[in-house]
Structure 1
Amino acid sequence: MSVLTVVDVPPAAACCPPLSAQALAPQAAAELAPIFKALSDPVRLRLLSLIAASPEACVCDLTDAFDVTGATISHHLRVLREAGLVDAERRGTWVYYSAQRQALDLLGGLLASPATASHQGSLISAGSDVVRLLADPLRAQLVEILAGGPACTAYLVAETGAKQPNVSGHLKQLREAGVVGAEPRGRYTFYRLVPEMLQGAAAHLGDLAEQARANADNFRS
């Protein structure tokens, strides 16, 4: 069993604060640029997402997920490996890849906003729009079904008994509001709930409940 050589995450970049909190130092920017360049290709970005979604992924499975040659996949994997985004381990005739969690944490921290409270506030303020959006029975039913896991349009049509154009129209509104996300997989597009948006709506309803309790004796005429 042999382990392929991997590039470590640049030490100067490992302690960078979020971009929205502080400007990058020239050295850190120079070290981080190759990592972002490695992710600028759609195939490489999807490869990384497939690898990161499981403890490890065999190159044989990764090759089958794309309509490109094995040599092209090998090239993209080498770029990701040299950028320090994935680890590679050879076992017999196959190579297994795993995500470099330190690198992913670095990128996540770099792109995060330090204003967590502000972000939560924006979710709560958007909650009232989500509540109004779910006032439609079919949209509420779609959300309830998607709570059980991602589903394609055909599945949602079968489960709701609604016509495909109606389901697609409601999914579009839910997507535009950020309540669901779309994920292409082969010839299907799967829709999944965004839990944070529902939490914002729940917080909005919780605030209304607290106001109702506080004003229970405030009769107005």
Structure 2
Amino acid sequence: MIIEPAEIFKVLSVDTRVNIVELLKANGPLGVKDISEKLGITPPAVSQHLKILKLAGLVRSERKGYWIPYSINEEAMEGCREILNEVCSCGCKGTGKFKENEITTIGIDELKKYEIELQKELDRVQGRVKEIEAEK
């Protein structure tokens, strides 16, 4: 079953679903109970969101006894990235960087904005590294 791009992004227009995807991306496969505890929402609510994400093909599940871990469907996420790259107007082609020939023509305001975005991303990565190190 092929889902139209607009439908996929409609599914991802709900913050809780995006939070679930981010959680699975950061932590790997998780069950409903783990997701529920980490996001502070009820297991039935998590199950409903996972059902929608699964129908859209964005997450997968594979029963392991009584436990059903959910994980990201990497191929579907790559498809989302490709769709965004097609409509992206910054010229980065998904790299998150300016085209080399544009870097010299971009104004200071755009470069400062880009610097802030990069710093936020770096902060998120460093925060995750610290979390992982603290768990060891």
Task: Give the TM-score range, shorter chain.
Answer: 0.5 to 0.7
Amino acid paired to 1:119: F
Per-residue CA shift, 1:162-197, capped at 9, x if unaligned?
Answer: xxxxxxxxxxxx997334117xxxxxxx93479xxx
What is the alpha-carbon distance in structure 2 between the residues aligned to residue 57 and residue 100 of structure 1? Answer: 13
Aligned residue for 1:85? 58
- Give the deviation of 1:125 after TM superposition: 6.3
What is the alpha-carbon distance in structure 1 between the residues aligned to residue 25 and residue 84 of structure 2? Answer: 18
Amino acid paired to 2:84: L
Q: 1:99 to 1:34 in 2, by over 3 A?
A: same
Query: Scaled by the length of structure 2, what TM-score is found?
Result: 0.67
1:106 aligns with 2:106: no
- Give the deviation of 1:57 after TM superposition: 2.1
- The within-5 A match list for 1:34-183 is 34-112=7-85, 113=88, 115-116=91-92, 119-121=98-100, 122=102, 177-181=116-120
Q: Is the CA contact (8 Å cut-off) linking 1:180 and 1:193 kept in structure 2?
A: no
Query: Scaled by the length of structure 1, what TM-score is found?
Result: 0.44
What is the alpha-carbon distance in structure 1 between the residues aligned to residue 41 and residue 66 of structure 2? Answer: 21
Q: 1:175 to 1:107 in 2, by over 3 A?
A: closer
- Give the deviation of 1:53 after TM superposition: 2.5
What SS class does the counterpart of residue 63 from structure 2 fall into? strand
What is the alpha-carbon distance in structure 1 between the residues aligned to residue 118 and residue 6 of structure 2? Answer: 33
Equivalent residue pairs, number: 118
What SS class does the counterpart of residue 41 from structure 2 fall into? coil
What is the alpha-carbon distance in structure 2 between the residues aligned to residue 193 and residue 45 of structure 1? Answer: 18
Amino acid paired to 2:45: T
More strand by share: 1
What SS class does the counterpart of residue 117 from structure 2 fall into? coil
Amino acid paired to 1:87: R
Task: Give unpaired runs (5+ residues) of structure 2.
Answer: 127-136
What SS class does the counterpart of residue 68 from structure 2 fall into? strand
Task: Give unpaired runs (5+ residues) of structure 1.
Answer: 1-7, 14-30, 134-173, 183-189, 195-221
Q: Is the CA contact (8 Å cut-off) linking 2:5 and 2:80 kept in structure 1?
A: no
More helix by share: 2
What is the alpha-carbon distance in structure 2 between the residues aligned to residue 50 and residue 74 of structure 1? Answer: 15
What SS class does the counterpart of residue 57 from structure 1 fall into? coil
Root-mean-square deviation (CA, aligned residues, Å) is 3.5
Please identify the structure whose Cα radius of gyration is greater. 1
Amino acid paired to 1:181: K
What is the alpha-carbon distance in structure 1 between the residues aligned to residue 21 and residue 69 of structure 2? Answer: 13
